[in-house]
Structure 1
Amino acid sequence: MSDSNEAAALNPTREVRAVTASGYAMLLVWIALLIIGIWAAASSVGGTATELKWGIVGVTAVVGMLILCGFYLINPNEAAAIQLFGSYKGTDRNTGLRWVYPWLSRKKIAVRANNVISDKIKVNDLRGNPIEMAAQVVWRVTDTAQALFDVEDYKEFVMAQIEAAVRSIGSRYPYDDIEHQEITLRGNHDEVGVELRKALIERLAVAGITVDECGLTHLAYAQEIAGAMLRRQQAEAVISARRKLVEGAVGMVEMALAQLSAKDVVHLDDERRAAMVSNLMVVLCSERDTHPVVNAGSLY
């Protein structure tokens, strides 16, 4: 954050309500002055009355021009910041035809929701893997004074802070976790979206901007490691599957031996027990169909 933004954060400008008038009422006043001026100019008088006539015409013309310079229009979801020689005097959020003293300047700003999709940026995740990320953010101006006067360009400020927040979130979590024991960018979109929105709200508070919704729209390994990471994911998936298979096989062997002993089906010494365990593990862990061999004689 720049020094100017830090100074604004220490002494922020707060939005206040501006003192303005309805433009429709002032339009009636202007029409009345116009009628008076036309009547005075068209009247046939002479002598001293002629000077008074043109005096009335001049006054109505000057006042009418000043009134015309004070009109401005505010559309729905729009506001106007009122300034006097650079000094902020308040914000008018009333829609329609409005009027203010002509020596006061008006600066309009949209307060409607904005939808932004950031560019794809390259980030190193928690494990140091280069990944590509992009985010979609719905934001809007809540404090017009801060947006206009506390940052240089609030729209560019939003884009810069979105990129910074995406980089921060991307480096805080791993891309993926095959064992599902931690929060990841790929597997926990809701949690990551909440963290991203929280980070953006904190970063954009200095500009009077809030975030209504946000989430990741693009997430992938960088091209230079995409092939290697795909093979790694495949290997991790195979290892995980093998681990589950072995755990299940061991449990089934234990259950088989326990039931054989409990029901007194067969009495096995250590050597025969080891042979049975070996055969059962081969049958249960093999990826191919097994072909049993019937032993008609003695084991020895």
Structure 2
Amino acid sequence: MKIEKSIKVANGYIMFGILIVLIAVLLVGMIVTVNPLFLILFPFILLIVKGFFIVNPNNSKVLVLFGAYKGTVRDNGFFWANPFYSKQKISLRARNFDSERVKVNDKVGNPIMINVILVWKVSDTYKAAFDVDHYEEFVRVQTDAAVRKLAGSYPYDNFDDEMAELTLRSGMDEVNEALENEITERLAMAGIQVLEARIGYLAYAPEIASSMLKRQQAVAIVAARKKIVEGAVGMVEDALSKLAADGIVEFDEDKKASMVSNLMVVLCGDKEAVPVINAGSLN
């Protein structure tokens, strides 16, 4: 398989000077001698003019002669080459690609919306020009395929797959690295270098977004309640131990159960407790 190769071409300013000389000879010969033989110079002048080209910074020109690849000019400046060369411009600049948001299924089948932000540039002009058709379109299609494959390899969250240590939502660094490796492998055949690839947007699809939000809220509430109960149990235990140690009051099992119940209600309730004053005996 061929790869890019550099080619040396003539300095454009030198050839421009030769062009000026030929034009001067043609004009002087026609005016002074009125000899039509000087018109022979006219086709040579046209060929020289056709051979000029400019390469701007971070650009290149791929030179092809009658279907045969001759080389790539990456140097910047004003050049002249064989006028029969066809010259294809390929940019070497870094480019951003913000893919469309696509609906895919994650590892457990939940529909999600996802897109990717890709930074890439051409590293091999031969592969970009001849190994694929329309390398920019190739980048778009292969990036979309890589995103779909990545989304199907991980769950969005570990609701349905609690054994999953890596998810799309929580493992962004690892997921982005896997995405970059996948895209790099797919675009290598087109001579494309991937500078950065990361997930730009990630969310549940609209048809399940509200249900999943309620689920997330429920999980958060349960986790908060669990923490509150753990703290309340510790506080009740400390209170009973302190009262018993200081001999402030003695509890039988019924009174202890009643106090524990009251304290748990006060500590775990959503609203502030309303005190009730007992004006009689404890019995």
Q: Classify the TM-score, shorter chain.
A: 0.7 to 0.9
Assess, with a 3 A threshold, how the Cα gap between structure 1 residues 262 and 200 changes in structure 2: closer, same or farther: farther
Match of 1:237 among 220, 223, 226: 220
- Aligned to 1:219, what secondary structure does the other structure show? strand
What residue identity is the alignment partner of 1:14?
I
1:161 Cα deviation from its structure 2 partner = 1.3
Corresponding position of 1:246: 229
Corresponding position of 1:94: 75
Match of 1:197 among 166, 175, 180: 180
What residue identity is the alignment partner of 2:264?
M
Distance 1:251 1:203 in 2: 57
Question: Does structure 1 residue 155 correspond to structure 2 residue 136?
Answer: yes
Match of 2:98 among 117, 127, 131: 117
- Aligned to 2:78, what secondary structure does the other structure show? strand
1:113 Cα deviation from its structure 2 partner = 2.4
1:68 Cα deviation from its structure 2 partner = 1.7
Corresponding position of 1:227: 210
What TM-score do you get using the length of structure 1 for normalisation?
0.80
What's the RMSD between the two structures over aligned residues? 2.8
Assess, with a 3 A threshold, how the Cα gap between structure 1 residues 22 and 219 changes in structure 2: closer, same or farther: same
Per-residue CA deviation, residues 156-183 of structure 1 (Å, 9 max, x unaligned), is 111111111211222233323579x844
1:112-191 to structure 2, matched below 5 A, reads 112-177=93-158, 182-191=165-174
Assess, with a 3 A threshold, how the Cα gap between structure 1 residues 91 and 265 changes in structure 2: closer, same or farther: farther
What residue identity is the alignment partner of 1:27?
F
Corresponding position of 1:23: 12
Distance 2:14 2:248 in 1: 104
1:137 Cα deviation from its structure 2 partner = 1.9
Gaps of 5+ in 2: none
1:247 Cα deviation from its structure 2 partner = 2.1
What residue identity is the alignment partner of 2:43?
V
Gaps of 5+ in 1: 1-10
Contact residue 81 and residue 108 of structure 1 kept, 8 A: yes
Corresponding position of 1:33: 22
What residue identity is the alignment partner of 1:297?
S
1:118 Cα deviation from its structure 2 partner = 1.3
Corresponding position of 1:297: 281
Number of residues of Structure 1 aligned to a counterpart in Structure 2: 279
Corresponding position of 1:210: 193
1:265 Cα deviation from its structure 2 partner = 5.0
Distance 2:195 2:137 in 1: 18
Distance 2:11 2:106 in 1: 55
